[in-house]
Structure 1
């Protein structure tokens, strides 16, 4: 922690937060929800409840770690890489650049980053990048796993050059749906950046 200069203006956190409108970027977890083929289904089973004569209410929860909206940590593809338990909460707070991807089965390229920076200024070290491809509207339908817009390796590399520490998409993966090599995963996670998948409501954010 560093001390500020005596006369430097600092907004009180509560005041600054009071001017913001919260936007939840996660899909709700619910039984029957779409999961990646071969991954375990989400289960939420009531085991005990006071309405049944039990002393308290208690559920059993089961899910795969990549269910719904989630983050991929480096260990996902990098042997010996950091897992999510070693990610400090402060790594999930900060500014986010909202990039707009093209609709359909097309590639999101550095042009999306150039368009953002022309309008809002440069992406800075420590920022996040959120990519809105309009895919969240397909959530929980069979169409959500159809070939989705994917991120080019060139765009991922450009964001790493700017030291972006978290990159999220509203699709199931930043890589193409048929990719086994997963080059964007390997590039970002290999640089200790986090990857967010199946985000939603990015379209409500600007700038």
Structure 2
């Protein structure tokens, strides 16, 4: 009898890099990153043989690849600290490939099993990241699509676009329906083209912060490779 090789887990990074001056959402300030304690200055404390760096970051919570909790749209909703790890880590997930589509309607999801899963929407809009084009005429979900995802039991919805809603107006019905029904959102994702359609797990864990509704995450997928 021969033993088959064991399955291994491939980890796929789905997050953008955050750097000084990055504009994630037009109109919001870019992060400012600098040394609070530089390595050179640390010599005055620790001597020449032991140097450290302590960084200082000033930024809005909607920076980079970030997660929206219900508190983002409802003062009585769960904030980051109130979210259970079961909602943020090791979620069964499915990829919905709508590459190069702009308006993503309910028919896109019909027949897809989303119950209890993270639903990641691959639009390929992340190709425009860190450019002026990223902010204009971006891919988005319709209100009807959001209602369908809620009705069919999705736990989290992620997208590799500037916003899960159409930002040409003031209304945000997708945020309203998803977050209002405790369905989390991850926006500004990337690298979704590397994922299979199903059979992977999703992780997007923010810090445990009270009174904040959004924050950057290191989103990634765990894919079983035979």
- Normalising by the smaller structure, the TM-score range is 0.7 to 0.9
Deviation (angstroms), 1:172 = 1.8
Other-structure match for 2:80: 84
Other-structure match for 1:185: 175
Other-structure match for 1:169: 159
SS in 1 for 2:193: helix
- Identify the match of residue 51 of structure 1 among 40, 51, 60: 40
Deviation (angstroms), 1:169 = 0.7
Residues 131 and 170, structure 1, Cα contact 8 Å, conserved in 2: yes
In the alignment, does 2:91 pair up with 1:94? yes
Other-structure match for 1:195: 185
Higher relative contact order (CA 8 A, sep 6+): 2
Other-structure match for 2:128: 138
Residues 65 and 187, structure 2, Cα contact 8 Å, conserved in 1: yes
What does the per-residue CA deviation read over 1:170-194, in whole Å, with 9 as the maximum and x for residues that have no partner?
A: 1121111213110000000100111
TM-score (norm 1): 0.82
Q: RMSD of aligned C-alpha atoms?
A: 1.9
In structure 1, runs of 5+ residues without a counterpart are 1-15
TM-score (norm 2): 0.76
Displaced runs of 4 or more, over 4 A: none
Structure with the higher fraction of residues in helix conformation: 1
In structure 2, runs of 5+ residues without a counterpart are 1-5, 47-51, 198-226
Change (3 A) 1:96 1:179: farther
Shifted more, 190-199 versus 26-35: the winner is: 26-35
Structure with the higher fraction of residues in strand conformation: 2
